[in-house]
Structure 1
C-alpha cells in the first residue's frame, strides 16, 4: 500500500469537465477534492447553483464566445471543450493533475507533468451503444458523425499517465474502444456515502422503489409495465425528460415522487421491500449501492455493472430484458415474493461497504502515487549516484 504522504506532499490540482445537474460525475469530482484535502479545483464550466458549500472551483474556459458556446450545448459545447482544454494554462503550473470526465482528454500536458484521468464512461453512442442509432432517422449520417468523434478521441486517449475508471466494465471499454493498454488502467469505484444509510431507518413496508434520472437509457418503461401487470405498489423517485410519458403509462399502484431530499431518500430505500434497477449497460450505478447500503435487496438487470452488484439469491435477483433468454422482471419479482433472499439486512448493508467513500479515497491516493512513481524520467544512474 502506498503511503498517504506521497500524495499529501504533491503539488496537485483537480479539474472536472463541467458541473452539470448535480449528477454522479459532479459529486465524484467534488469528492476527489475532499479526498485530497481541497487542492485547487478547476471546471470547464461552472454552475454555482448546484455546488456544495465547501466547494469553490475556478472556471477554466472563459471568454464571451466560449461561455456562450458552453451554455448552448450540442456541437458548440463540444467545440468549446475541444478548444478550451488543449492549453488550459492554469493547469500547467502543477506537478500533478487529476482530471474528471472525457472532455479534459483534449488537454496537452507538459512532458514533466503527471496526469491521472478519471473516466466515467467511453463516448457511449459511439461505442457500446452504437446500435441504438439503428432506429433513428439519417442513420448513415449519424454513423459518419460517430466515426469522426471516435477518430478525434483515438488521437487523445493515450496521453494521461494513468486512467482511473469507475468499474471493470468501463475498464474493458477503455481498452477496447480507446486502445489504452491494461497496465495504464486502474479501477476505483465511485464514492457512495454508505455509512449514512441504515437498515433500521424505516420499517419495511409493502412497496418496491426505483430511483434514477427519468431518461430513456434508464429503461423505466419495463419496470412500470411489470408493476402494472402485477398490480404491486411501486414508488418511482427522480425526475427527467421521460417523466410525463412514464406517468401516462403508469397504473394506480405506481406513484411518482419527483426529486426527494436525502432524508426522504434514505427512508424510502430502507422501507422498501426491494429496489428495482433496469438501466442499460450501466457503467457503475450509485443508486443500487445506496439501496444495498440501506439493507434493501436489489432486483437488477443482468448487464453492465448492475449484474455484479447482485449476488444471486443472497442480496437480490437478476432479470433480463423482454425477448432475451433468462428470467423476466415479472419472474424475478414473483421469485422474490416467494423465496425472499438469504442475507439479512445488515449483511446486505455490509456488502455495500466495498463502494464506500473511505475505499474511494484510499484507491485514489494509491492511483496518484502509482502514476507519480511510474512517470518519473530520472535516470536510474542519476539517483544511484546520489546526485
Structure 2
C-alpha cells in the first residue's frame, strides 16, 4: 500500500506538528507533503524528502505563512496524489483539501475545524492587520468558508483528538469523527519529583492562548513564572509583565523537557482543542493548572493530575494557584497516568483499528468480484 502523509505547513513546532512527526516515524516509507517547509523552525525529518507546493517558491513565505491563507486551498488541490492508496492528512485548516483516486482512502487527523474562519474574532482579535482590514478580510473569509465546507467532504474518515473537536467537526462540517486522544513521545520526557520554585507556560504567544490572564495573575502573586515560546503577542506581554516573569522565547527540546520536569506546575489558560502540553507535563510528573474546558476534560483528572479553573480570568487562575499549594501531589501517579493513557502504543493501536474499519468497505466489492470469478 502506497501512503502519503500531508500536513498544512511545517513552519513552526506546535502540538499538531509533534503529532505529524510521530506519524512520519510510524510510517517511515510514506511520502511526505506540505505546503511550506522550514526545517529550522519545525519538526526534524532528517534527510527524508519533503515535497512542497508552489507556495514554497515565494520569497519569505515560510516566515509570513499566515498571510498566504487564501492560496492554500488551491495549492493543496494542485498536488498530484493519484498514485497513493492511503492519504493521511494532518490538518487544522487546508491539507484536508487534497485530491485522491476514487478507490483510495483519505483519513484526516483533524486538530480542529479551520479556526480563523469559524472562530475569527477569538483567533485574530489581537492581530493589528485584522483590526485594520477586517471589512475586506471578512469578504475573503466568507469565500474561504465556502471552500472549507466543500473540501471538508473530501476525507473518508475524520479522527479527532478530543471529544470537543469531534463535536465541532460534526457541527461545522456535518461529518462524524472518531475520537483518538493524541499521544506524546514518552521517551522525550524525564521525571523529577524535586520541584523547583517556579511555574511554567509552554506555548506559542498568540491571543487565543490567553497568556495575558496568566501574566496578570502572576503579577498579583509575585511568584516566579517562566514562559517559553514565541509569537506576535510577545512584545505586548513582556510590556505588561513584572520582574518575576521571565520570557525565554524559543528553547531547545532538551531545555523544555528539563523545565517541564522541574516546574511546580504548568499553566494553561487557553480553550485548547486538545492540548499536548498538559499531557507532556504529566509525563514529567508535573501537575497542570488549566482552564477547565475543551481537550483537558479528556486528559486531566481534577485534583489528581491537575486543577481546572472555570473562567479565563486572572482571579480564577490566582485562586487555582493558591488551592494547588494545599494538594499533596503524587508526582509518580501523575506520570503513570500519562504513560498508561497517552502512549504511542495505545494511540497507534486505535489508529490502525480505525484505518482498518475505513478500508474494509472498499475491500468488500473486491472480495465479491474475486468470489464471482
Same fold (TM over 0.5): yes
DSSP 3-state at the match of 1:15: strand
Q: How many pairs are equivalent?
A: 365
Superposition deviation, residue 153 in structure 1:
1.5
Residue 186 (structure 2) aligned to one of 188, 194, 219: 194
RMSD of aligned residue pairs (Cα, Å): 2.7
Mapped to 1, the partners of 2:347 and 2:254 lie a distance apart of 23
Superposition deviation, residue 70 in structure 1:
8.4
Mapped to 2, the partners of 1:345 and 1:76 lie a distance apart of 43
Residues 1:345 and 2:331 aligned together: yes
TM-score normalised by L of structure 1: 0.84
Superposition deviation, residue 347 in structure 1:
0.9
DSSP 3-state at the match of 1:84: helix
Superposition deviation, residue 222 in structure 1:
0.8
Structure 1 residues 350 and 277: CA distance shift in structure 2, 3 A: same
DSSP 3-state at the match of 1:92: coil
Structure 2 unaligned blocks of 5 or more: none
| Partner residue, 1:3 | none
| Partner residue, 1:108 | 99
> Does the aligned pair in 2 maintain the 1:133–1:139 contact within 8 Å?
no
TM-score normalised by L of structure 2: 0.87
Residue 333 (structure 1) aligned to one of 321, 335, 348: 321
> Does the aligned pair in 2 maintain the 1:292–1:298 contact within 8 Å?
yes
Structure 1 residues 131 and 293: CA distance shift in structure 2, 3 A: closer
Instruction: Using the TM superposition, name which of 30-39 and 142-151 deviates more.
Output: 142-151
Larger RCO: Structure 1 or Structure 2 (Cα < 8 Å, ≥ 6 residues apart)? 1
Mapped to 2, the partners of 1:60 and 1:322 lie a distance apart of 38
| Partner residue, 1:315 | 305
Superposition deviation, residue 366 in structure 1:
2.3
| Partner residue, 1:7 | none
DSSP 3-state at the match of 1:375: helix
* 1:82-112 CA-partner distances (Å, limit 9, x unpaired): 22322422x1112111122232333232211
Structure 1 residues 308 and 371: CA distance shift in structure 2, 3 A: closer
Give the number of the structure whose alpha-carbon radius of gyration is greater: 1
| Partner residue, 2:207 | 216
Residue 359 (structure 1) aligned to one of 329, 337, 346: 346
Superposition deviation, residue 293 in structure 1:
0.7
| Partner residue, 1:148 | 143
> Does the aligned pair in 1 maintain the 2:181–2:347 contact within 8 Å?
yes
Superposition deviation, residue 152 in structure 1:
1.2
> Does the aligned pair in 1 maintain the 2:70–2:140 contact within 8 Å?
no
